[in-house]
C-alpha cells in the first residue's frame, strides 16, 4: 500500500461532513479532525503549519514548503476538507478494481492525499525548490458557503498558480460555472368563486414562468459555450422548488448556472427583464 493510499484511507475514515447537512451536534460534522490529522502529517516533515480560523471548530489548514532561497513565486494547492453526508458504510474505505471508494474519496480527499503526500516527499528529499514556495491550503465549507476559500482570499495570500483538486476526469480545467440563485414570486388576485374570471391565479402565472425558464431560456443558454477548457462549459437554468400557500401567492427558487463572460454585470436585472413580460404581478424576492 502506498503512502498516498494509506493517507486517503485515513482521511475517509475521519468524517468531515459539512454541518449544513447535519443536525446540530452530530459527531460527523466539521473539518477540525481532518485538519488536525493533516497538520500532524505535515509537521512531521518540517512544513510550516497554521490552522487558520474560519468558523468555530472549523479551521483552514495551511502548510508551507519554503524554497531553499528567496521566494519569488508561489504555487497554491487548494482542495477542500469537507464532504456531503453519507451512510455509515461510506466512511469505511474499500478498494475495488484498483480504486478506493468512500465518502470524499473523489471530492476531494483523494486530491488532498495526493497533494499532501507529494509535498511531504519533496520536504523529506532535502531538494526544495530554489525560489518557489508551495502552499497547501485545506479549505473548509466548500460544499455550502465557501467560507474557507473566502477567508483565505481575505487573508491577502497571493499565488502565481493555483490547483484546486476538484474531480475533472484527469482533464486540465481552467474555468468553471458560477451560480445565480433567485427567488421568484407571482401575486394573483382574489375573486368570488362564482366569478373566477375576475381573479388571477398566481400558480397559473408561475407555471408560465417555469415553462419559459425550462424551455426557451434554457435553450438560449445552451447555445453558449466557454471558449477555453471549462468544466461543465455550458450554462443552464432550472427551477428547483415551489411553494404555493394560496392561489394568490406563489414562489419558486430558480438557479441559473453561468460561464465566464456569459452573465452581464447585473445578472438579476437581466433575469428579471427576461421574465417580466411573462405575466403581470411577478416580483423578484432577491
Q: What is the CATH number of the domain that holds 229?
A: 3.30.70.360
Task: Report if residue 107 sits inside a domain.
Answer: yes
From 138, 148, 141, select the one nearest 20 (Cα to Cα): 141
Task: Report if residue 171 sits inside a domain.
Answer: no
Distances (CA, A) of 213 to 36, 157, 181, 207: 45, 40, 13, 10
Task: Report if residue 55 sits inside a domain.
Answer: yes
Contact yes or no for 9/100 (Cβ under 8 A): yes
Give the CA angle between residues 96, 101, 106 to the nearest 5°: 130
Q: Phi, psi (5° rounding) for residue 230? A: -120, 125
Q: How many domains would you assign to the chain? A: 2
169 band by pLDDT with thresholds 50, 70 and 90: confident
Which of 163, 194, 215 is the endpoint of a domain? 163
> Per residue in 174-223, pLDDT tens?
877 777 777 778 888 887 878 877 888 888 888 888 888 778 777 776 77
Contact yes or no for 209/275 (Cβ under 8 A): yes
Residue 283 pLDDT more than 60? no
* pTM, 2 dp: 0.78
Q: Are residues 47 and 138 in the same domain?
A: yes
pLDDT at 281: 47
The rounded mean pLDDT for the chain is: 85
Sheet holding 178-187, edge to edge: 236-246, 249-258, 178-187, 282-284
Q: Are residues 140 and 225 in the same domain?
A: no
Q: Are residues 153 and 235 in the same domain?
A: no
> Per residue in 56-113, pLDDT tens?
999 999 999 999 999 999 999 999 999 999 999 999 999 999 999 999 999 999 999 9
pLDDT at 273: 63
pLDDT at 34: 98
Range of the domain at 198: 177-284
Q: Are residues 118 and 254 in the same domain?
A: no
Cell of 240: 428547483
| DSSP tally for the chain: helices H, then strands E | 7, 13
> Per residue in 220-276, pLDDT tens?
767 766 655 544 445 565 666 666 666 677 887 777 766 666 654 444 555 556 666
Residues designated catalytic: 82, 142
pLDDT at 227: 56
Q: What is the CATH number of the domain that holds 23?
A: 3.40.630.10
Task: Report if residue 235 sits inside a domain.
Answer: yes
> Per residue in 125-141, pLDDT tens?
989 999 999 999 999 99
Q: Are residues 259 and 227 in the same domain?
A: yes
Which of 104, 135, 163 is the endpoint of a domain? 163
Amino acid at each position: 500500500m502506498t503512502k498516498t493510499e494509506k493517507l486517503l484511507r485515513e482521511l475517509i475514515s475521519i468524517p468531515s461532513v459539512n454541518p449544513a447537512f447535519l443536525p446540530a451536534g452530530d459527531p460527523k460534522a466539521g473539518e477540525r479532525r481532518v485538519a488536525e490529522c493533516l497538520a500532524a502529517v505535515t509537521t512531521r516533515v518540517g512544513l510550516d503549519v497554521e490552522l487558520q480560523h474560519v468558523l468555530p471548530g472549523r479551521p483552514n489548514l495551511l502548510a508551507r514548503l519554503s524554497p531553499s532561497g528567496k521566494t519569488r513565486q508561489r504555487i497554491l494547492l487548494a482542495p477542500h476538507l469537507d464532504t456531503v453526508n453519507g451512510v455509515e458504510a461510506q466512511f469505511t474505505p474499500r478498494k475495488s478494481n484498483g480504486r478506493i471508494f468512500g465518502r470524499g474519496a473523489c471530492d476531494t480527499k483523494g486530491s488532498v492525499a495526493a497533494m499532501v503526500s507529494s509535498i511531504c516527499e519533496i520536504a523529506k528529499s532535502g531538494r526544495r525548490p530554489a525560489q518557489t514556495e508551495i502552499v497547501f491550503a485545506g479549505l473548509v465549507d466548500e460544499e455550502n458557503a465557501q467560507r474557507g476559500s473566502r477567508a483565505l482570499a481575505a487573508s491577502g495570500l497571493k499565488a502565481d498558480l493555483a490547483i484546486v483538486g476538484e474531480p475533472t476526469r484527469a482533464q486540465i480545467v481552467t474555468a468553471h460555472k458560477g451560480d445565480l440563485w433567485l427567488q421568484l414570486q407571482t401575486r394573483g388576485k382574489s375573486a368570488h368563486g362564482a366569478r373566477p374570471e375576475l381573479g388571477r391565479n398566481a400558480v397559473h402565472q408561475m407555471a408560465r414562468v417555469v415553462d419559459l425558464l425550462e424551455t426557451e431560456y434554457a435553450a438560449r443558454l445552451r447555445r453558449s459555450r466557454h471558449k477555453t477548457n471549462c468544466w461543465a462549459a455550458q450554462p443552464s437554468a432550472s427551477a428547483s422548488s415551489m411553494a404555493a400557500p394560496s392561489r394568490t401567492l406563489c414562489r419558486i427558487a430558480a438557479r441559473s448556472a453561468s460561464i465566464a463572460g456569459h452573465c452581464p454585470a447585473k445578472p438579476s436585472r437581466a433575469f428579471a427583464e427576461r421574465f417580466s413580460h411573462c405575466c403581470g404581478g411577478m416580483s423578484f424576492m432577491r
